[in-house]
Amino acid sequence: MDASTTRAERRAATAARILEAAQAEFGAHGEEGATIRGIARRAGVDPSLVLQHYGSKQGLFALAVRPALDLTADGVPAHLAEVIDSRLRELSPATRALMRSMLTSPEAAGVMRDYLQERTENLARTLPGDDAELRAAAIVSSILGITIARHFLDLAPLKEADEARIAALTTAWLAPLA
């Protein structure tokens, strides 16, 4: 970094590099298999810096897997189509880490549950009818299931089909929302 970079800017850049390395490491090995040393090695820093910036492996994990909550009431069908499309492609390290760990880590399960609940509530607000929340939960859960089956279980029909074909099939689910 050049001499005009402040200490605070260098510290923020190091923290960002560590977080990015943690997302990749947790994505590759899950919460249990990832180590502070592995994260530090990937980030190119001393392991003590990982703890200095994030306090603990569990604290870093919680930040590394926290997904962005970006669903709004406007444009729900288009947004869901984008979500499905993104879940058919290569998963981000943060998403991969969260999904790999959600069944074995209470912290990951909590993050995923909160994320899915937020998605369900936002979607339900845009749907008519008394069963809007249940229908929203079914849609959100279906997207999760497709993601798991394609990326972690290698379910042949989903793994072998191209993204466009699967997206075309799932568009039928979204048609009543338009």
Domains delineated in the chain: 7-64 (1.10.10.60), 76-177 (no CATH)
In a 13 Å sphere around the CA of 50, the CA atoms on its Cβ side amount to: 29
pLDDT in the model for residue 71: 45
Give yes or no for a contact between 59 and 134, defined as CB atoms under 8 angstroms apart: no
Q: Chain-wide mean pLDDT for the chain?
A: 80
- 41-55 pLDDT, tens digit each: 999 998 888 887 777
- 117-143 pLDDT, tens digit each: 888 888 888 877 899 899 889 888 988
> How far apart are alpha carbons 153 and 42 in whole angstroms?
27
Q: What residues of the chain score a pLDDT lower than 50? A: 69-73
Give yes or no for a contact between 116 and 70, defined as CB atoms under 8 angstroms apart: no
Helix (H, G, I), strand (E, B) or coil at 22: helix
Strand residues in the chain grouped as ranges (E): none
